[in-house]
Amino acid sequence: MATVDLKDVKKVYPSGVEAVKGVSIAIPDKELCVLVGPSGCGKSTLLRMIAGLETISAGTVAIDGKVVNAIGPTERDIAMVFQNYALYPHMKVYDNMAYGLRNRGTPKDEIDSRVRSTAKVLELSALLDRRPRELSGGQRQRVAMGRAIVRNPKVFLFDEPLSNLDAKLRGQMRVEIKNLQRTLGVTSVYVTHDQLEAMTLADILVVMNAGLVEQTGAPLDIYEKPASIFVASFIGAPPMNLLALTGSSSGPILADGTAIGFAAPGTQAVTLGFRPEDADVTFNAEALPGALVLPAAVEAVEPVGAESFLHCAAAGSRIIVRVSGRATAKPGDQLRVVGKAEKLHWFDQAGKRVD
Which residue ranges make up the site for ligand ATP (CB under 6 A)?
Answer: 13, 15, 17, 19, 37, 39-45, 193
Q: How far apart are CA 210 and CA 351, in angstroms?
A: 15
> Whole-number minimum distance, CB 64 to ligand ATP, in Å?
25
| DSSP string over 119-136 | HHHTT-GGGTTS-GGGS-
Which residue has the CB atom at the shortest distance from ligand ATP? Answer: 44
> Whole-number minimum distance, CB 24 to ligand ATP, in Å?
17
> Whole-number minimum distance, CB 208 to ligand ATP, in Å?
7
| Residue closer to ligand ATP, measured from CB, 51 or 294 | 51
| Residue closer to ligand ATP, measured from CB, 45 or 241 | 45
> Whole-number minimum distance, CB 11 to ligand ATP, in Å?
8
In sequence order, the 6+-apart residues with CB closer than 8 A to the CB of 333 are 283, 297, 298
Give the count of beta carbons closer than 10 Å to the beta carbon of residue 64: 15
Q: How far apart are CA 7 and CA 2, in angstroms?
A: 16
Given strand 334-339, what is the order of strands in its sheet? 279-282, 334-339, 292-303, 307-314, 317-324
Residues in a beta bridge with 302:
309
| Residue closer to ligand ATP, measured from CB, 13 or 283 | 13
Nearest to 340 by CA among 295, 290, 296, 298: 290
Contact 220, 235 (CB under 8 A): no
> Whole-number minimum distance, CB 120 to ligand ATP, in Å?
34
| Residue closer to ligand ATP, measured from CB, 160 or 278 | 160
> Whole-number minimum distance, CB 224 to ligand ATP, in Å?
25
| Residue closer to ligand ATP, measured from CB, 163 or 246 | 163
| Residue closer to ligand ATP, measured from CB, 44 or 271 | 44
